[in-house]
Amino acid sequence: MKFLVTVTGNIPWDAPGITDAHNHVWIDTISGIEPTGPVLNRFDLIARELLDYASTGGSALVDCQPGECGRNAVMLTRLSKATTVTIISATGFHRPVYYPPDHWLWMSPENQISDYFIQELTLGERETLNTESPVKAGFIKIACENTVENTYLPALHAAAHAARETDRAIEIHTEKGESAIEILDLFLSLGVDPRQVILCHMDKRPDAGLHRELIQAGAALEYDTFFRTKYAPETNLWPLIREMIASGLENHVCLATDLAESNYWQSFGGAPGLSAFPTQIKQRLEKMGVPDETIQKLLGKNICRILATEIRN
């Protein structure tokens, strides 16, 4: 039996229902960065939004904020307990622009960074290590720049090392799908099983041929531009989903909303809200005539299967 490592403990991998494969539940302010990135730090409003997500059919969320750049696993745990929404938290690294200047990570060798990732996956995330119940990271989230060369190589190698060592998945931010082949090739060359790799934001590069190639190489793809009009989801995302299903590749596509900015949250006065995932997106798939079993895969079963791990530590 494989398990999902959640902020409230391990659960059978297939326990959650609808699971947003890439979202952000809490983001602390980070001092010293300019301009500031998104911030989500109002417990009452976030809890209200999560309750709404749960009451409209949402079951779990994959939180893609790695440590040291806004993640707060203490708050994630409190929110999960208060709302019953399952949350899976990440170790890993974000883009350097989201860290205080001169952050240690960008000056450290591979082994120091991979020790940090492995510690967070097996013992607990740093901000919880001195609490009563340390919270383990459930997966590795990393961010690539537009090319592999422009990304801090020791951190990429460290992520591969930690993934191999702990049998955990890596969600990889791509800059609008750029260099996806090169990124996947790098991880394969470092001994990572392609079934551990999820390439994020790929619908920003809606090239169905490329997507088929990546999936045939074993990776999964994450799509999330449903509510980002500048990426023309009607022209790009929805036809892409249709095409991947028609090609029989529905086991390798994970849908998400990535609503890191509070203006997308209803409880902050924005739209469409986290509940759009279990309502609007699900209804649209139903209307397209997508079979129930496929909808379940796209809306949660795939990402949970990929993040699942044999517990060996």
Q: What is the x/- site pattern for Zn ion, positions 213-252, by CB under 5 A?
A: ----------------------------------------
Select from 27-35, 58-66, 82-90, 262-270 the region that touches Zn ion (CB under 5 A).
58-66
Strands 3-6 and 9-12: antiparallel
Residue with Cβ nearer Zn ion (225 or 279): 225
Residue type, 288: M
> Exposed, middle or buried: residue 28 (CB in 10 Å: 0-12, 13-18, 19+)?
middle
Among 136, 222, 258, 277, binds Zn ion (CB under 5 A): 258
123 vs 129: CA distance, rounded Å: 8
Q: Applying CB under 5 A, does 40 fall inside the site for Zn ion?
A: no
Residue with Cβ nearer Zn ion (52 or 258): 258
Residue with Cβ nearer Zn ion (26 or 290): 26
69 vs 98: CA distance, rounded Å: 6
Q: Applying CB under 5 A, does 203 fall inside the site for Zn ion?
A: no
Which DSSP state fits 175? S
Q: Applying CB under 5 A, does 64 fall inside the site for Zn ion?
A: yes
Residue with Cβ nearer Zn ion (64 or 121): 64
Q: Applying CB under 5 A, does 120 fall inside the site for Zn ion?
A: no
Residue with Cβ nearer Zn ion (66 or 290): 66
The least distance separating Zn ion from the CB of residue 219, rounded to whole angstroms, comes to 18
201 vs 44: CA distance, rounded Å: 29
154 vs 148: CA distance, rounded Å: 11
Q: Determine the size of the site formed for Zn ion (CB under 5 A).
A: 2
**25's tokens:** 């539940």
Q: Within 13 A of 107's CA, how many CA atoms are on the CB side?
A: 6
Q: Applying CB under 5 A, does 256 fall inside the site for Zn ion?
A: no
Reduce the DSSP state of residue 298 to 3 states and report it: helix
The binding site for Zn ion (CB under 5 A) comprises 64, 258
